Structure 1
């Protein structure tokens, strides 16, 4: 009988799963039993880091309706205290499972990104409205909805029109104690060597339109007109060939590297001189919180909705307009000149620590806080 079940179509890695992993470590350390449930081609995420006590159950289903029935049967058999879904598809499935006879499990839905402010959905009005209708219909059939930022919560309530359910903002636990330890591991890249005198700008994330890496490349080209610098973009995605072609067109290819996925991005980030985010929209940006935790200066677009919240309106980092290469170049140059904001790192990241998030989730779930390391 698990205390907390996480339901999702899990992938081996990703920002959402990293945040969940951080919280799983806190929950299991404090005595809560955790189980993963997946479907389609889902699998356990970060298997090398997952506590041995955490099992991953595959429902063996693909369609939404079949998965809702299979999930209900699982809940009836295993009797978990809480089930938490991790994205829109699984939110709808978990809400639909709640239409079947009661199992005793509380069902909570989490929303990691904005819907109303997504450029992708804005370009497809019919699909956008269909998703909004799904949210308004199904999300209220849960015990609560967790938004990862104030911006995501505001988007759900004001843009999507979600009513009839408690929507609470809980910041994700992106900053974990193990992050600093892993940041000290070696990195085999000549640009990040200790004796390298050329400053390195780093970004990390999927190579997809949302991240707007073309703007970052154009900004970097402008920056190189002013000073020597290098750019590393860690991540994989369908835009890699186009981005490499753009780097060649801009004449910066030899100063830009796309090393692909990094199992330990913290070691790369910790050796950078500045972290850059060029996104057009986000929910809450894991890598920005991690960069703050590592003490790496941040320059970010002021996209909806996460960066401004994380950086406290520019108190903890430099905010620049979206899709503006010149403004982004100036922001990067400002930080490399040593003119970026000065602040207390602990103050900046306390809201985003894994322990803080794990406790807030337990409170919203209605589970009793542990006092002795064992479940009450």
Structure 2
């Protein structure tokens, strides 16, 4: 990459994940418009979705572990590379970036992004001391930035009203969860007997890490109730530490033969596109990529009404059925209603319009104050760059 980056994105990246997918979608637009983008990571961070990131995007591994050492390494990077904007992507990387605030010789604008709620997190609510410590960190460090970006109205309200963040502008900008590139990948073949042209029963699909936040135990219990009413199958796409426990629960519920634990799939879109209904059973979220992607693929959705993303995405139930959290009876009823064809009717384009990658990429640039006129014509964007 020639010259200093227009946008440096900072985080301890994993090779995959919802936040990284949204970033990648926006990066494609930024690169297409002629901006220089660089990924900067630390700890054991790697380049996310390496086969999909445009080749012009730079990658820097700082080689540090702790927050203080990482702040100094990031400061050194910012002095050397002089990016116009640095965007951090989660709480720890936000703290590291904020730690560079008073260090000299930096002209970059620093923005912190928040992908999930803090106050509504069930995990934090069970650990009051940790919750209080994190709230103090946010209130102390986040004002040491040029702005905070919340991925949804619910996340913004959580920061302002529950966490009590003051002294910095908090702006909601929807991330680019839906992109033409991702939706195109749904057309790739899916070799699985349950998804044949002559399937004899409907298939429910969910996608996500097998972690307590996603509450797949609730989904399994709901699915057992669905099977009492009609034949169906359930596919859970994703890996994680709860894999064995969830398989054990499916066995205990006597539904294991009707459930497929598909593990992590680099391309989950064919699974989602061929589903008869997409289910989300989470206890808390920020902005839910997979829910938006399912909408974009035209797959009917049923979701728990967890804080804070689903109600916002589904427009209070206009675009999909919302059910209470941790209520398998209600979730089963929503699934059965949708499988009968009695779910909401809507235009896909209308449902996903605010969450398209190009729209998000443009809104981020407007917020950053990066003039696009010198980098090309936005209206010409039709796909990714390389």
Question: TM-score by structure 2 length?
Answer: 0.96
- Counterpart of 2:383 in structure 1 is none
- Counterpart of 2:224 in structure 1 is 221
Residue 116 of structure 1, aligned match among 119, 127, 144: 119
1:286-325 to structure 2, matched below 5 A, reads 286-325=289-328
1:135-154 to structure 2, matched below 5 A, reads 135-154=138-157
Q: Unaligned regions of 5+ residues in structure 2, if any?
A: 379-386
- Counterpart of 1:129 in structure 2 is 132
1:29-108 to structure 2, matched below 5 A, reads 29-108=32-111
- Per-residue deviation at 1:374? 7.5
Residue 277 of structure 1, aligned match among 275, 280, 285: 280
Q: Secondary structure at the match of 2:80?
A: helix
Counterparts of 2:39 and 2:367, CA distance in 1 = 19
CA contact (8 A) 1:79 1:104 kept: yes
- Per-residue deviation at 1:372? 6.0
CA contact (8 A) 1:30 1:370 kept: no
Residue 261 of structure 1, aligned match among 261, 264, 274: 264
Counterparts of 2:270 and 2:167, CA distance in 1 = 44
1:7-22 to structure 2, matched below 5 A, reads 7-22=10-25
Instruction: Select the structure with the greater relative contact order (CA < 8 A; seq sep ≥ 6).
Output: 2
Q: Which runs of 4+ in 1 moved over 4 A?
A: none
CA contact (8 A) 1:149 1:284 kept: yes
CA contact (8 A) 2:33 2:372 kept: no
- Per-residue deviation at 1:180? 2.4
| Deviation per residue, 1:73-121 (Å, 9 max, x gap) | 1000101000000000000000011121141100000000000010100
- Counterpart of 1:208 in structure 2 is 211
CA contact (8 A) 2:35 2:375 kept: no
Aligned length: 375
- Per-residue deviation at 1:194? 1.7
Counterparts of 1:117 and 1:295, CA distance in 2 = 29
Compared with structure 1, are the counterparts of its residues 265 and 370 closer, same or farther at alpha carbon in structure 2 (3 Å cutoff)?
farther
| Deviation per residue, 1:167-205 (Å, 9 max, x gap) | 000111011011221000001111111221210000010
Counterparts of 1:129 and 1:317, CA distance in 2 = 35
CA contact (8 A) 1:289 1:310 kept: yes
CA contact (8 A) 1:85 1:110 kept: yes
Question: TM-score by structure 1 length?
Answer: 0.98
CA RMSD of aligned residues (A): 1.0
Q: Unaligned regions of 5+ residues in structure 1, if any?
A: none
CA contact (8 A) 1:31 1:374 kept: no
